[in-house]
């Protein structure tokens, strides 16, 4: 159990999150994260009964309040060009990205 | 008094009956925007001038041309004898998290600064179909992450109409400030930990966080998907009820929008509080907050002026026929913020991974060696510090090796918070409450810059509101009085699942009981200084 986000752990998180920071930003963020962790540790003082369930949301849905599943049907998009127009780079209606890292198989 | 200061239900009634044109209402709204708002928020907004510091800056995008077309259509339909809808000709604004087809939708972030929504949110469609006129999109904390609206990438950020040196609250600060200053009659905001109620309280207006599932979330940029609740901000309780009646109900596009019948809120609103059981809890008259030096959690009573306004409201409701039940135990609400630090961050980080510069939004300009380099640079430039902080925390506490200790524990404690409310509202229980009366925020609006940058202290501004989000229950905030400095103090009524109607009844009863009090006649400073 790590009680503090160290510079090494912070660097790992930054890499996983696909971010890049200058040293000043990094130190500010790491300090704030550790302050927040201190507050989160308040939860350690809560006596948890083994029967306390996990709540993925507050309101529980009864069968009569749960919406029925939609039909599994394909609905054509009415404005695909409007959606494509949002992409930063499009050629011949293909979205273009830089080279995707890959390994050549021998 | 300008027509734009009238309640929405009065405007709609007059427009529907041909006594007032929607175009005239819109022109009054645009005149108000020109008088009090100043320049809209933009990326790289530059230095603040003295004039900037005296204005509200609620808007990111003013949709005046679209609004004129809509207003003319409303008037034409009225002339043709058609039923235009319950919001006929009412100018409304939307927090800039709501997708509005053909209009820029930014989430107040650089990463979506160039995004034009290709579809509208269900709520937006319902509001416009009800005859409302869309005045524009208003500012917020970036991706709704904050309690002061200062983290927006669109500067100048919104200021409080009661004192422009103070924050409007957040994250729906633009919505609250717009409604308070007459820039539209109604606004839609979102509430994940208090983001409708706290800014409504800070700006002296009414705000409702509906029950989770009461209102569709489809087409609203997500923050915490198990917590987010879209809801109205209005200048009185009846207007909030009117707006909820338009937006509530199931939606095939949102599988969490409950199929619970929507009552006629307006028909029930003036039934009074006789026989209603309203609770007061000592756990909502004190706060826990971290010592700025040691980080240790300190418990402290709320300021006398906040407690006094709350207890005076209880007296008013008692005089109107309610039974006040004291000493309701809500012990687990003290853990609301730590639980929120975990759950909201996990959900936020999950929701923010989609912003990568590929399909839409901002992409960094450069010659990138590979896709990963483009992701890193785009996200580094596109997100502000607050989203980055939330993503990193969400990833940490949900990582496989820490998840049981942090995330699962938070979900357990969330059950305990919910259980406190269930016990208070249980019709067969010890307390049998219809509603719990609390202050909305621990303080009146604070000064800009006083807390911004301290992510811990800022989060504790939501301490009295966040428990309702964890429990999923509805909560209504309404003005309760003014502080010694003349700033709004908001009160909150929290009810059981889908009991919005009860909250409207009690809030309306308090409005009626205090209608003649002198504080109700006091206007926000930006209006009086503009001679309005």
Helix, strand, or coil here: B95? strand
Strand pairing of B323-325 and B277-280? parallel
Contact B20, B8 (CB under 8 A): no
Give me the pLDDT at residue B328, please: 98
Torsion of CA B306, B308, B313, B318, to 10 degrees: 150
Q: CB-based contact (8 Å) between B431 and chain A?
A: no
Best CA proximity match to B322, nearest among B279, B278, B269:
B278
CA distance B146 to chain A (A): 14
Take residue A24 and report the two structure tokens written for it.
């000043």
Contact B235, B7 (CB under 8 A): yes
Would you say residue B116 has pLDDT above 90?
yes
Contacts of B465 in chain A (CB under 8 A): none
**Direct distance between the N- and C-terminal alpha carbons of chain B, in angstroms, rounded to an integer:** 7
Cα B275 from Cα B267, distance rounded (Å):
19
Residue A15 lies in a domain: yes
> Rounded mean pLDDT of B442-468?
94
Would you say residue A2 has pLDDT above 60?
no
Give me the pLDDT at residue B288, please: 85
Instruction: Name the residue in chain B with its Cα closest to that of A52.
Output: B412
Q: How confident is the model at residue A28 (pLDDT cuts 50, 70, 90)?
A: very high
Instruction: Name the residue in chain A with its Cα closest to that of B104.
Output: A86
Q: CB-based contact (8 Å) between B392 and chain A?
A: yes
Contacts of B456 in chain A (CB under 8 A): 32, 35-36, 39
Torsion of CA B449, B454, B455, B460, to 10 degrees: -80
Domain of A29? 7-45
Residue A82 lies in a domain: no
Give me the pLDDT at residue B254, please: 96
The CA-CA-CA angle for residues A90, A92, A93, to 5°, reads 60
- Residues contacting residue A90 through CB under 8 Å, at least 6 positions apart: A84, A96
CB contact under 8 A, B361 and A88: yes
Q: How confident is the model at residue B464 (pLDDT cuts 50, 70, 90)?
A: very high
Would you say residue B296 has pLDDT above 80?
no
The burial class, CB within 10 Å (0-12 / 13-18 / 19+), for A9 is middle
Of B396, B402, B412, the CB nearest to A54: B412
Catalytic residues of B, by residue number, are: 95, 171, 195
Cα B32 from Cα B153, distance rounded (Å):
25
Q: What are φ and ψ of residue B476, in 5° steps?
A: -115, 130
Please report the ipTM that was assigned to this predicted complex. Answer: 0.94
Across A66-70, B23-27, B99-103, B480-484, least confident range = A66-70
Give me the pLDDT at residue B230, please: 98
CA distance A106 to chain B (A): 21
CA distance A77 to chain B (A): 11
Give me the pLDDT at residue A13, please: 95
Contact B496, B328 (CB under 8 A): no
> Rounded mean pLDDT of B333-354?
96
Residue A90 lies in a domain: no
Residue A16 lies in a domain: yes
Q: What are the tens digits of pLDDT across the range B140-193? A: 999 999 999 999 999 999 999 999 999 999 999 999 999 999 999 999 999 999
Q: What are the tens digits of pLDDT across the range B395-425? A: 999 998 888 889 999 999 999 999 999 999 9
The beta strand positions in B159-240, using DSSP E, are: 186-191, 206-209, 229-234
> Rounded mean pLDDT of B457-476?
96
Would you say residue B292 has pLDDT above 80?
no
Kindly list the domain boundaries of chain B, sorted by start residue: 337-406
Q: What are the tens digits of pLDDT across the range B57-114? A: 999 999 999 999 999 999 999 999 999 999 999 999 999 999 999 999 999 999 999 9
Residue A54 lies in a domain: no
Q: What are φ and ψ of residue B32, in 5° steps?
A: -65, -40
Contacts of B339 in chain A (CB under 8 A): 43
Cα B261 from Cα B269, distance rounded (Å):
17
Residue A104 lies in a domain: no
Q: What are the tens digits of pLDDT across the range B478-503? A: 999 999 999 999 999 999 999 999 99
The CA-CA-CA angle for residues A65, B128, B216, to 5°, reads 20
CB contact under 8 A, A54 and B255: no
Would you say residue A3 has pLDDT above 80?
no
Cα A62 from Cα B363, distance rounded (Å):
44
Residue A77 lies in a domain: no
Beta bridge partners of B186: B92
In total, the C-beta contacts within 8 angstroms joining chain A to chain B are 196
Best CA proximity match to B166, nearest among B403, B356, B446:
B446
Q: Which segments of B336-465 does DSSP mark as H helices, in order?
A: 336-352, 371-382, 385-398, 409-425, 455-459
Of B371, B376, B418, the CB nearest to A58: B418
Instruction: Name the residue in chain A with its Cα closest to that of B398.
Output: A13
CB contact under 8 A, A19 and B380: yes
Interface mutation target, options A36, A67, A69, A102, chain B, most CBs of B under 10 Å: A36
Q: CB-based contact (8 Å) between B111 and chain A?
A: no
Interface subset of B 217-246, CB within 8 angstroms of A: 226-227
Instruction: Name the residue in chain A with its Cα closest to that of B225.
Output: A57
Cα B333 from Cα B442, distance rounded (Å):
14
Of A20, A35, A66, the CB nearest to B295: A35
Q: How confident is the model at residue B298 (pLDDT cuts 50, 70, 90)?
A: confident
**Direct distance between the N- and C-terminal alpha carbons of chain A, in angstroms, rounded to an integer:** 41
Best CA proximity match to B208, nearest among B184, B226, B191, B192:
B191
Q: What are φ and ψ of residue B98, in 5° steps?
A: -85, 125
Contact B417, B335 (CB under 8 A): yes
CA distance A47 to chain B (A): 9
Q: Please state the domain count of chain A.
A: 1
> Mean pLDDT score of chain B, rounded to an integer?
96
CB contact under 8 A, B385 and A55: no
Residue A40 lies in a domain: yes
- Residues contacting residue A69 through CB under 8 Å, at least 6 positions apart: B255
Q: What are the tens digits of pLDDT across the range A79-94? A: 999 999 999 999 999 9
Give me the pLDDT at residue A1, please: 45
CA distance A11 to chain B (A): 10
CA count, 13 A, side-chain hemisphere, A21: 22
Take residue B34 and report the two structure tokens written for it.
């020109």
Only one residue has tokens 């009238």, namely B6
């Amino acid at each position: 159990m790590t009680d503090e986000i160290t510079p090494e752990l912070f660097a790992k998180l930054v890499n996983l999150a696909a971010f890049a920071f200058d040293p000043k930003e990094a130190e500010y963020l790491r300090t704030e994260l550790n302050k927040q962790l201190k507050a989160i540790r308040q939860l350690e003082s809560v006596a948890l009964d083994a029967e306390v369930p996990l709540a993925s949301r507050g309101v529980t849905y009864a069968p009569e309040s749960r919406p029925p599943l939609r039909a599994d049907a394909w609905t054509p998009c009415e404005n695909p060009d409007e959606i494509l127009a949002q992409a930063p780079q499009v050629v011949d209606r293909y979205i273009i990205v830089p080279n995707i890292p890959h390994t050549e198989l021998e | 008094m300008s027509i734009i200061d009238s309640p929405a239900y009065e405007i709609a009634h007059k427009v529907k009956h041909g006594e007032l044109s929607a175009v005239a209402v819109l022109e009054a709204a645009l005149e108000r925007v020109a008088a009090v708002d100043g320049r809209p928020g933009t990326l790289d907004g530059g230095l603040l001038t003295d004039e900037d510091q005296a204005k509200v800056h609620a808007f990111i995008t003013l949709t005046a041309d679209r609004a004129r077309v809509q207003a003319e259509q409303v008037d034409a339909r009225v002339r043709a004898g058609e039923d235009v809808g319950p919001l006929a000709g009412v100018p409304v604004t939307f927090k800039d998290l709501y997708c509005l087809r053909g209009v820029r939708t930014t989430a107040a972030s650089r990463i979506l600064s160039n995004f034009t929504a290709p579809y509208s949110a269900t709520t937006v469609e319902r509001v416009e179909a009800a005859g409302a006129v869309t005045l524009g999109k208003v500012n917020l904390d970036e991706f709704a992450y904050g309690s002061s609206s200062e983290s927006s990438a669109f500067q100048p950020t919104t200021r409080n109409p009661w004192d422009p040196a103070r924050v409007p609250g957040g994250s729906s600060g633009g919505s609250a400030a717009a409604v308070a200053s007459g820039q539209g009659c109604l606004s839609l905001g979102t509430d994940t930990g208090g983001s409708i109620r706290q800014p409504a309280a800070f700006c002296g207006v009414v705000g409702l966080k509906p029950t989770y599932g009461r209102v569709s979330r489809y087409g609203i940029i997500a923050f915490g998907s198990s917590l987010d609740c879209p809801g109205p901000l209005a200048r009185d309780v009846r207007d909030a009820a009117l707006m909820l009646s338009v937006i509530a109900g199931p939606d095939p596009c949102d599988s969490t929008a409950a199929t619970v019948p929507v009552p006629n809120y307006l028909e029930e609103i003036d039934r009074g509080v006789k026989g209603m059981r309203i609770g007061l809890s000592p756990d909502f008259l004190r706060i826990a907050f971290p010592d700025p030096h040691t980080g240790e959690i300190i418990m402290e009573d709320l300021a006398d002026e906040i407690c006094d306004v709350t207890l005076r409201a209880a007296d008013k409701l008692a005089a109107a026929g309610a039974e006040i039940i004291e000493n309701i135990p809500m012990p687990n609400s003290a853990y609301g913020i730590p639980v929120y630090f975990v759950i909201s961050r996990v959900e936020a980080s999950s929701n923010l991974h989609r912003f990568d510069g590929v399909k839409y939004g901002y992409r960094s300009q450069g010659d990138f060696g590979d896709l990963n380099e483009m992701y890193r640079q785009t996200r580094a430039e596109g997100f502000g510090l607050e989203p980055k902080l939330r993503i990193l925390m969400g990833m940490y506490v949900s990582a496989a090796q820490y998840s049981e200790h942090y995330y699962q524990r938070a979900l357990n404690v969330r059950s305990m918070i919910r259980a406190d409310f269930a016990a208070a509202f249980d019709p067969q229980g010890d307390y049998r409450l219809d509603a719990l009366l609390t202050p909305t925020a621990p303080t009146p609006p604070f000064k800009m810059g006083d807390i911004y940058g301290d992510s811990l202290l800022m989060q504790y501004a939501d301490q009295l509101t966040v428990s309702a989000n964890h429990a999923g229950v509805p909560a209504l905030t309404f003005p309760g009085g003014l502080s010694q400095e003349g700033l709004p103090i908001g009160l909150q009524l929290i009810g059981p699942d889908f009991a919005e109607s009860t909250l409207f009844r009690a809030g309306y009863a308090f409005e009626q009981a205090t209608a003649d009090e002198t504080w109700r006649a006091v206007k926000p400073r930006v209006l009086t200084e503009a001679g309005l």
